Amino acid sequence: MSTATILIGPEHHGLRMSLEDFETAEAREGHLYELSRGVVTVIDVPGRRHLLQINAIRRQFSAYEVSHLEEIYCIAGGNECKISVEGPVSERHPDLAIYKTAPPAEVEDSDI
């Protein structure tokens, strides 16, 4: 039995959705989408100022990582990681995530 793919766009801002449906949904380009306590949140793509702020922070963490290799496992950006929270039914993509340890062996690539 196949299920239809859910396509979300800006008009779905405020729509209630399960974490499972959100994880498999396809998003219309031009915006960013997160699930906030079971509600689709549509976010404008950040601009240049935001880029420069995140870049400044990333440089600081990268410099620290070079001199403290044993303390940082990985530095990831918003498209490289996600935080899924079942309790409040949320999926977030942080601008920057600092992993101090490797993910557990049972975590699949798609879950990072």
Question: What are the tens digits of pLDDT across the range 19-53?
Answer: 999 999 999 999 999 999 999 999 999 999 999 99
User: Model's pTM, two decimal places?
Assistant: 0.67
Give strand pairing partners of 41: 34
Q: Could you tell me the residue range of the domain that residue 60 belongs to?
A: 7-101
The tokens for 42 are 């549509």
Residue 53 lies in a domain: yes
B/e letters for 17-53, b = 16+ CB within 10 Å, e = fewer, are bebeebeebebeeeeebbbeeebbbbeeeeeeeeeee
Residue 2 lies in a domain: no
How many residues belong to the chain?
A: 112
Give strand pairing partners of 27: 8
Residue 64 lies in a domain: yes
Residue 80 lies in a domain: yes
| Non-local CB neighbours of 100 within 8 Å, separated by 6+ positions | 71, 72, 73
Residue 1 confidence class, pLDDT cut points 50, 70, 90: very low
Residue 110 lies in a domain: no
Report the number of distinct structural domains present in the chain: 1
pLDDT per residue over 70-97, tens digit each?
A: 999 999 998 888 888 888 889 888 999 9
pLDDT at 69 over 60: yes
Residue 1 lies in a domain: no
Residue 31 lies in a domain: yes
Query: Measuring CA to CA, how many Å separate 79 from each of 4, 13, 15, 76?
Result: 24, 20, 22, 8
Task: Express as a percent the part of the chain with pLDDT over 90.
Answer: 68
- Decide if 93 contacts 79 (C-beta within 8 A): yes
